């Protein structure tokens, strides 16, 4: 299992052009056909994914400097997390702001994702927004609507910690208990 290396696919070209009913310009509905737990790689219709079949354990939220497994991140989305993915061209100021945001919120997951069409992509369960800049007002609007207890999360307010992943560099590690 790994981060997709499939060609970049924005939701607009993945078979949907439906605007999300929550009223944020540019947020699209990503059709989700299943939320089952699986034990294998999943081919998602978007890159990064915004829901679908996923592993039975979630990824601990936080700021990661290395790619994370799609199937772990999708489980975090099911719990009400917002996954903010970035390309390497976003710049140090944006990375610093994303890192601070991840520290402030229990349900923010941030990781690099080179195979995406925009510098920043915000994903919640069945919703996605492509942005050029963190300064776009829609960035905060997306978080306000979908973070933690958003209207599309199948398991809102569920844990986004206590599972797999130790930020910033070990997304597949099991945290030490003690």
How confident is the prediction along the chain (178 residues), in pLDDT tens digits per residue? 556 444 344 444 444 458 999 999 999 999 999 999 999 999 999 999 999 999 999 999 999 999 999 999 999 999 999 999 999 999 999 999 999 999 999 999 999 999 999 999 999 999 999 999 999 999 999 999 999 999 999 999 999 999 999 999 999 998 876 5
Instruction: Give the per-residue pLDDT at 160.
Output: 96
CATH (domain of 77): 3.40.30
> Is 173 inside a domain boundary?
no
Model pTM score:
0.91
Is residue 138 in some structural domain?
yes
Residue 40 lies in a domain: yes
- Measured in Å, how far apart are the chain's first and last C-alpha atoms? 29
The answer as to whether 6 is a domain residue is no
Distance CA 82, CA 36 (A): 19
Domains of the chain: total: 1
Cis omega before residue 133 (within 30°)?
no
Q: What's the rounded Cα separation, in Å, for the pair 90 and 50?
A: 21
pLDDT reported for residue 75: 98
What pLDDT is attached to residue 96?
Answer: 98
In a domain, 4, yes or no: no
177 belongs to a structural domain: no
């Amino acid at each position: 299992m790994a981060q997709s290396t499939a060609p970049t696919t924005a939701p607009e070209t993945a078979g949907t052009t439906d605007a999300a009913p929550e009223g944020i310009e540019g947020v699209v509905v990503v059709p989700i056909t299943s939320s089952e737990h699986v034990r294998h790689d999943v081919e998602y219709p978007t890159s990064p994914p915004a829901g679908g079949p996923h592993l039975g354990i979630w990824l601990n939220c936080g700021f990661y400097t290395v790619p994370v497994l799609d199937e772990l991140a999708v489980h975090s989305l099911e719990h009400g997390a917002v996954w903010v993915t970035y390309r390497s061209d976003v710049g140090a100021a944006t990375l610093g702001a994303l890192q601070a945001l991840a520290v402030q919120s229990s349900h923010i997951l941030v990781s690099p994702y080179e195979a995406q069409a925009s510098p920043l992509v915000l994903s919640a369960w069945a919703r996605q927004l492509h942005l050029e800049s963190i300064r776009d007002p829609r960035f905060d609007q997306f978080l306000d609507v979908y973070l933690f207890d958003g209207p599309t999360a199948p398991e809102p307010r569920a844990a986004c910690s206590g599972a797999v992943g130790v930020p910033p560099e070990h997304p597949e590690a099991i945290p030490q208990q003690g």
